[in-house]
Amino acid sequence: MNIVHEPARDIPVVDEADVLVIGGGPAGMIAAIAAARNGARTIVVERYGFLGGMAPNGLVGPILAIYHWYGAGRIVGGIPWEMLKRMEALGGAILGKDGPHVSFDPEVLKYVADQMTLEAGAEMRLHSTATAVSCDGDRMNGVILESKSGRQAVVAKVIVDATGDADIAAWGGNAFEKGHPETGAMQPMTLYFRLANVNTELMENPNNPETFYTMVETRELLQKAVDAGELPLFGGPWAPKSSTVRDGEAGVNMVRVWGDATDVLDLTRVEVTARDHVQRFVKFLKAHVPGFKNCYLYDTAPQIGVRETRRICGDYQLTVDDIAQSRQFGDGIALGGHIVDIHSLDGTTEQYGVRVEPYQIPYRSLLPTGMVNAIVTGRPISATHEAHASLRVMGTCMALGEAAGTAAALAARGSGLVRAVETSALVTQLKRQGAIVDTDGIQ
């Protein structure tokens, strides 16, 4: 391979924080608010011009695992719940009406995330992409950012990796896994699209619990077209009423494209392929499903939705057995309660025959084995391929964000060592914030 030599250069340190959060998605935005409220000088870095992660940048929804999938109650409280209540007050979230689904408006989410982050006293650096890390052995000193202002460094006592892909931990040399343990296959990516002027009453019976989530009749029609070679593979299709807060609108989850989202050429290929698939699916829906006859495509998400990339090797790897048995941990810091939701290569979903009751996630799963002052939160925490498929949803990632930000602030009060945080103090503080960390707290 040809190489280009980049001369060594000094990077200006433009800011210094107690807690530096990289990535402002469901996990990162909540982590930043939690860290700042706990007295840490906090900076959150995000490559887009807004916070919210996959919710606004992938148009992914509804928010799942705020409530347990099978109706045990509300399993997420604290800062995420406060955020959703504020969104509800602005007409931007529907709580407690659609089973486990929280419908929401991504624009309201972006706005409320800004407000809560600033009110907490955290500083935002938007339009800034983390591109490298500066480490001294197992301690991470800071992160290099690229933006219109050039190449800059921010140093911090504790770094929270909330990139969804564990970019920071991986660049710091921490071990990670990817995909299925035998095949390496990762779950497919999906470009969400939104349709307007939909007759939701004719979409399929949206009030029938059998068809509320997956559009069963439409699925049969689509499958025939796939078998005849007329359409590409699809998933679902899922266009539940709960994917949006507005009548006459549908957020559709049906594109399925495979690749590695940490490989830029793969990512380019899947974006282009997915856009082509969207056009073909919309044409088909308009022609064959009465509710979509007069609809039009008003947007696709700013980027394709990524379900799975890296999962860090952490002090504890959560397994599907832990989930199936609702195992309790002394350092449990959040509850999950979503099905084991693996979208597979043939467009189907697997649930491993596991009926998921609310389960605990231990603090140790957020601690990358090779680092002393970094915490990983959100989708890529230490879990097996199957366990990840349950905890990856936004409600759980928000709860993991609150735990990560709170722990980071506690660590920053000392020398930044994340294993020096007393888990009993962390759990007590999380409960004080209203977080639900064990089954006794379910509401």
Ligand X SMILES: Cc1cc2nc3c(=O)[nH]c(=O)nc-3n(C[C@H](O)[C@H](O)[C@H](O)COP(=O)(O)OP(=O)(O)OC[C@H]3O[C@@H](n4cnc5c(N)ncnc54)[C@H](O)[C@@H]3O)c2cc1C
Q: What is the spatial distance between Cα 194 and Cα 105, in angstroms, rounded to a whole number?
A: 12
Q: What is the spatial distance between Cα 228 and Cα 290, in angstroms, rounded to a whole number?
A: 22
Of residues 15 and 167, the one with the C-beta less far from ligand X:
167
Residue 310 and residue 186 in contact, taking contact as beta carbons nearer than 8 Å: no
379 binds ligand X (CB under 6 A): yes
Distance of CA 81 to the CA centre of its chain: 16
Contact positions with ligand X (CB under 6 A) in 139-178:
162-164, 167
Among the listed ranges 103-111, 276-284, 382-390, 393-401, the one in contact with ligand X (CB under 6 A) is 393-401
Chosen residue from 15, 21, 26, 194 binding ligand X by CB under 6 A: 26
Residues in contact with 288: Cβ distance below 8 Å, sequence separation at least 6, in sequence order: 218, 221
Chosen residue from 68, 74, 157, 307 binding ligand X by CB under 6 A: 307
237 binds ligand X (CB under 6 A): no
Of residues 203 and 304, the one with the C-beta less far from ligand X:
304
Contact positions with ligand X (CB under 6 A) in 52-81:
53-54, 57-58, 60-64
Of residues 21 and 289, the one with the C-beta less far from ligand X:
21
Among the listed ranges 51-59, 70-78, 345-353, 421-429, the one in contact with ligand X (CB under 6 A) is 51-59
Of residues 40 and 169, the one with the C-beta less far from ligand X:
169
Among the listed ranges 6-14, 89-97, 323-331, 394-402, the one in contact with ligand X (CB under 6 A) is 394-402
Q: How many CB atoms lie within 10 A of CB 375?
A: 29
Give least dist CB 376 to ligand X, A.
9
Residue 318 and residue 384 in contact, taking contact as beta carbons nearer than 8 Å: yes
Residues in contact with 91: Cβ distance below 8 Å, sequence separation at least 6, in sequence order: 105, 108, 245
110 binds ligand X (CB under 6 A): no
Of residues 120 and 417, the one with the C-beta less far from ligand X:
120
28 binds ligand X (CB under 6 A): yes
Q: What is the spatial distance between Cα 63 and Cα 96, in angstroms, rounded to a whole number?
A: 12
Q: How many CB atoms lie within 10 A of CB 323?
A: 29
Closest alpha carbon to 423 in 440, 403, 442? 403
Q: How many CB atoms lie within 10 A of CB 13?
A: 13
Distance of CA 150 to the CA centre of its chain: 28
Residues contributing to the site for ligand X (CB under 6 A): 22-28, 45-48, 53-54, 57-58, 60-64, 129-130, 162-164, 167, 190, 253, 305-307, 378-379, 392-395, 397
